A and B are shown apart, each in its own frame.
Chain A
Amino acid sequence: MSVPGSWYLILAAALFGIGAFGILVRRNILIMFMCLELMLNAVNLTLVTYSRMLNDIAGQVGVFFVLVVAAAEVVVGLGLIVSIFRGKRQVTADDLHILRG
């Protein structure tokens, strides 16, 4: 008998929370982006866990799609970052201060 699913879910929730916290608090664009990935991974863990708990493959299929989406998002996101910050030294969101909320 393996570890109960709720443990995994709590872990995933914690990871999601940490990721969300990171996005809200960190100013470094790349790290914000990484926190986004962290959140997606927490979702993946949740889905896989539910897939096991419900004995249903749909959760794993979901993870499969999330992975594709994450890859696409990263490609575009990093392209964006490169095109924005080409020739700059500092990649913090504080550089971007014209638009305030």
Chain B
Amino acid sequence: MFPYLEILVFLPAVAGVLVFFFPSEFPKRYYKGLGVLVSSVEFIVAAAMLVQFKTGVGGYQMISRYHWIPEFGITWSLGVDGISLFLVILSAILFPIAIFGSKETKDPKTFIAWMLILEAACVGSFLVLDLFDFFLMFELTLIPTYFLMSNWGFALGGRAAVKFFVYTFLGSAFLLIGILALVFIHDGGTGQVTFSIVALAHTQMSSTAGRLLFLAFSIAFLIKAPVFPFHTWSPDAYSQSPISTAIVLGGIMAKLGTYGIIRFDFQLFPQASRSLGWLILTLAVVGIVYGAITAAGESHLSRLVAYSSLSHMGFIVLGLFAFTQIGLAGAVLQMFNHGIYTAALFLLLGMIYARRKTLDTSKLAGIQSKAPVMAGIFTLVMLASIGLPGLNGFVGEFMILLGTFISHRWWAVVGVSGVVFSAVYMLWAYQKVFHRRDPEQRSFRDLSVREVATLVPLVILIVGVGIFPNLLLSRIDPSVHKVLSDATTQSVAYHSSLGKVAGR
């Protein structure tokens, strides 16, 4: 079989490392093209994989496995299922766009190299089936991000990068301890040291141990997502990153956290996930409301997106811990959607910044009349983010709320307020930036063809997924079902409700 997954992980990694060693005579202007080229090839491979992916099958597909460090029981194993599938696709879509849309002129060689390595790390994190490998990849995302943020970021990028790094690394610290503890508990029970997710899923442990491990894992994922109250790094990081990195941060890396929750928390500690679900649910709901309120008060557009992201990630977590088929499927779908429209938002912000050198809502005004194309696309993306039916944001959010309502009614009720708030702050910001009359009547160039070309794929996805969610759901559902049935014995009861929603 064609090694899609290996290529997906190693192509950008090898390309990234090679770029580092390019001779300095290599003209600088070609680097960006090179980056786009590599990531586009990556996209093509990902697309081919999507075609190859068998629908209606729950487990991992295209599994490959090599013994890497037998002494530690570490293997190098890759596999994809419905949960990781669209996250990989998301990465493969967003990276070319981020690179293409990037405006970094300083040291393009290193920039491209880091971006490609970051892509490899992100894709790798989604694809690996071995806890050790996952941790490696999970960690590996930090380093490029750190450098991208501090070297190409805004003035305070360095500080934001340190904050980001310390927060997420601290989370990883717990993750690593948790992984090791789990492995040795498994070792104690079976006498077999392994890091394989599949093998570890059936580890027998006391409920206390399970809860502690669940917390250790969750902290890492909640920080990465981010979920209230671990989000404090994110506004700084989003606002100080270069646009391309912000796209990756908000669009892809945030999903690493939620992906980790499904993949590891649910599969490895199903009981603890259920018994401590209320805790995470509460955090998620608080995050939804808090993020929305804070976003409403925020005058810096990037920070606004960061807080809105907090709110939206809260929704996703809500969907996850609802422990219903529909909620979980919605959450997985929403991960994809959120990635798309967040990326689009950041791209637009970058374009605004390139023209006005500021993202402060109080200093921006009257763009709509000068740049109608931009305003139009912005409106569309914003509406998707608010969750307007027919656009992609709606499907996921609706399924999440529905799923949560089934199992955790009151949380869902509070969560709905987030939708309302998001409409408020988004429209408010839109109104300030685009509709107010600009007192100085400064000029504002509309989007160039190139910029439109950058945005078009995302717009298509926003609309397309909104209209045909089943293209995705049909691939997501079996895996979600498998996760749930592995995690719970009662999944059959909820299965029936899936039919109604899916057939909508």
Direct contact of A and B (CB under 8 A): no
Residues of A within 8 A of B (CB): none
Residues of B within 8 A of A (CB): none
